[in-house]
Chains A and B, each alone.
Chain A
């Protein structure tokens, strides 16, 4: 029987098995392949020191130009040891998942190493990261592979169809426009004890219904597509009966992209739980968008409660409406209040994702952030705003609407020395705006520190604050 070893790389969270590997393992098994998995992200975290891990992280997010040769050699040596231990018999394919453009450098390091080897397997590489450019060379991943010919099968875009076609010799094809035709992800071979939570990621939709200026999701999935409510509930039940999983984390950009389908999903899951006592502990969490009352009436929140919605991650981004309007978030202050009121009514905790120092942010916008932190403190005390994440201040990501020539021109985005915003990898953090001169790097860091102080004083929980401030510290070195 043919075999495949499916691997994933940093940068990814350490919380649960990576969704991409679960999805592609499902496809491989559906084509009759023997599979094994290797999470190199978790393996590296276990085998690198704290300082080495931080160095690697700074390199991957482009805040550091390079890492030492010693660390690169250690990473390669760990990779070799790790895959040797996991390699299944008759391994015909080694698959590497490149989750995002923050995985680009380590992917290149590993793939260059693999290309030097004489191996019995063919290399398959895919994931969102392979659609990106290397910030240091300005070359797209595909261009780099065309030159080096390091990868036998480079998968651009979704993996299900190209891989099912490869593994079935063209006999099996899924309907890309009907996500219900894809096989269910499989999490066999994963050791759940290696992760901080026993949960699985689940994908109910791909794409987004918004076109936020800072986000590149529309490049990856231009069209919003979603699975039927029945199909998602069926998958949840399958993971429960196979692995005893009761916690499901949606990978969707937003779980309420289709409010009618989301309502149906909640109603169906609640019905299943009411009928079958086995399922009563099942709960889910996911990212969602804040919506006005006419789109998500109180009955929708009630259905979420009975279905077991344990947490929503909401991209509020800024408490200033004018900042959000520029971002094209399309919800008002009134909508935030309504959302919190309903979440309070049904005890649904929220993680608020914020972006500080967006290029149009004025001092008044910043002060609005502080005012609303005070206003919503009661929701923090009640656990309804469970966590607050202020992030590392606005980072201009390539291939996003805000990085378009028109926006860069209208916002006057340049480096501190007046060069192109992507002149050097780190300059996407250290930008300045000639249209909002007050908001230089020093001021951005000052505002971020002020927000940390106020947020801490008000007692909001910020579990990622230390990591975020470590990155801010790195950024502050550019001010000196």
Chain B
């Protein structure tokens, strides 16, 4: 998977670890891009200077830290990557909407239209058959 880190205002350097193994160091820049082939990956990206929270893109799609379960420590970013990253990301979107709307797991499906509406569909199909 392709990872991109970007900070508009500050240059930063980083060292990327996967599963506790250092992969590479990247010199100071506003933007860094690299590839992670060894999946599943537990990434730790040590960043200098501290407290930088860059934009993170996975396969060119900017991700939300909370939904992507990225932990921003003062000195590093930590998160997991796998082939099903965006499936998990999508589940987290639904869960975030559920919590925001204060609904249970069945009601959220109805509210956001993940419900197949089978009964209504059957009635319509019957009318046109």
Seen from chain A, the residues whose Cβ lies within 8 Å of a Cβ on chain B are 306, 341, 344-347, 378, 380-384, 387, 442, 445-446, 449, 452-453, 456, 459, 461-466, 469-470, 472-473, 476-477, 479-480
- Which residue of B has the minimal Cβ distance to A378? B86
Cα separation A118 to B86 with both chains bound (whole Å): 64
A–B complex contacts, Cβ < 8 Å, 12 sampled: A345-B61, A347-B64, A378-B61, A381-B90, A382-B61, A383-B90, A446-B128, A453-B121, A461-B112, A462-B113, A465-B113, A465-B115
B123→A473 contact, CB < 8 A? yes
Rounded to whole angstroms, the CA-CA distance of A344 and B61 in the bound complex is: 5
Asked whether, in the complex, the Cβ of B113 is within 8 Å of the Cβ of A476, the reply is no
Instruction: A306 to B112: give the CA distance in the assembly, Å.
Output: 27
> Which residue of B has the minimal Cβ distance to A348?
B62
A281 to chain B, nearest CB (A): 15
Name the residue in A345, A381, A459, A470 with the highest tally of chain B Cβ atoms < 10 Å from its Cβ. Answer: A381
Q: CA of A341 to CA of B62 in the docked complex: distance in angstroms? A: 10
Closest B residue, CB atoms, query A444: B128
Q: Are A473 and B127 in contact (CB under 8 A)?
A: yes
Smallest CB separation, B91 vs chain A (Å): 9
- Chain B residues with Cβ below 8 Å from A445 are 124, 128
Main secondary structure of the interface of A (DSSP, over half): helix
Question: Known interface pairs A341-B60, A384-B61, A476-B124. Does A465 touch B117 (Cβ–Cβ under 8 Å)?
Answer: yes
Are A449 and B125 in contact, CB atoms less than 8 angstroms apart?
A: yes
Contact in complex: A461, B114 (CB < 8 Å): yes
Q: Check B60 against A345 for contact (C-beta < 8 Å).
A: yes
- Are B86 and A381 touching (Cβ within 8 A)? yes
8 Å CB contacts to A: which residues of B19-69?
57, 60-64, 67
Contact A449 B121 (CB under 8 A): yes
**Complex contact B128–A476 (CB within 8 A):** yes
Kindly list chain B residues whose C-beta atoms are within 8 Å of the C-beta of A442. 128
Query: In whole angstroms, how far apart are the Cα atoms of A453 and B110 in the complex?
Result: 15
Q: Which residues of A contact B61 (CB under 8 A)?
A: 344-345, 347, 378, 382, 384
CB contacts (< 8 Å) of A459 on chain B: these are: 90, 114
User: In the complex, how many angstroms separate the beta carbon of B30 from the nearest chain A beta carbon?
Assistant: 13
The closest CB in chain B to the CB of A478 belongs to B127
A344 touches B113 (CB 8 A): no
- Rounded to whole angstroms, the CA-CA distance of A476 and B111 in the bound complex is 24
- By a CB distance below 8 angstroms, the chain A residues around B86 are 378, 381-382
Residue of A nearest to B88 (CB): A381
Interface residue range, chain B: 20 to 34
- Whether the Cβ atoms of B87 and A381 lie closer than 8 Å is yes
Chain A residues closer than 8 Å to B89, beta-carbon distance: 381-383
Q: Which among A453, A469, A477, A480 is the interface contact of B120 at CB below 8 angstroms?
A: A469
**In the complex, what residue of chain A is closest to B101 when comparing beta carbons?**
A196
The 5 closest A-B pairs by CB, nearest first: A462-B113, A476-B127, A347-B62, A344-B61, A381-B86
**Interface check B93, CB cutoff 8 A:** yes
Q: Looking at the assembled complex, report how far the CB atom of A457 sits from the nearest CB atom of chain B, in whole angstroms.
A: 8
* Minimum CB distance partner of A480 in chain B: B127
Complex formed: what's the CA distance from A472 to B86 in Å? 33
Q: Is the CB of A466 within 8 A of B117?
A: yes
Q: Which residue of A lies closest to B62 (CB)?
A: A347
B90 proximity list for chain A (CB < 8 A): 380-383, 459
A38 to chain B, nearest CB (A): 28
Tell me whether A461 and B128 are in contact (CB under 8 A): no
In the bound complex, do residue A463 and residue B112 qualify as a contact, i.e. CB atoms below 8 Å apart?
Answer: yes
Nearest-Cβ distance from residue A375 to partner chain B, whole angstroms: 15
Q: How far is the CA of A479 from the CA of B128 in the complex (A)?
A: 6
Contact with A along B73-117 (1 / 0, CB 8 A): 000000000000011011001000000000000000011111111
Q: Are B62 and A345 closer than 8 Å at their CB atoms?
A: yes
Starting from the known contacts A381-B90, A465-B113, A473-B127, 20 additional A-B residue pairs (CB-CB under 8 Å) come to: A347-B63, A378-B86, A382-B86, A382-B89, A383-B67, A383-B90, A449-B121, A449-B125, A453-B116, A456-B113, A461-B113, A461-B114, A465-B115, A466-B117, A469-B121, A470-B120, A476-B123, A476-B128, A477-B127, A479-B128
Cα(A381)–Cα(B114), bound, Å: 13
Given A346-B62, A382-B89: A456 in contact with B116 (beta carbons within 8 A): yes
Q: Which residue of A lies closest to B61 (CB)?
A: A344
| Chain B residues within 8 Å of A449, by CB | 121, 124-125
B97, chain A: closest CB distance, angstroms: 8
Minimum CB distance partner of B112 in chain A = A461
Distance in Å from the Cβ of B100 to the closest Cβ of chain A? 11
B62 near A469 with CB under 8 A, answer no
- The smallest beta-carbon distance between B25 and chain A, in angstroms, is 26
Expressed in whole angstroms, the Cα–Cα distance for A345 and B115 within the complex equals 29
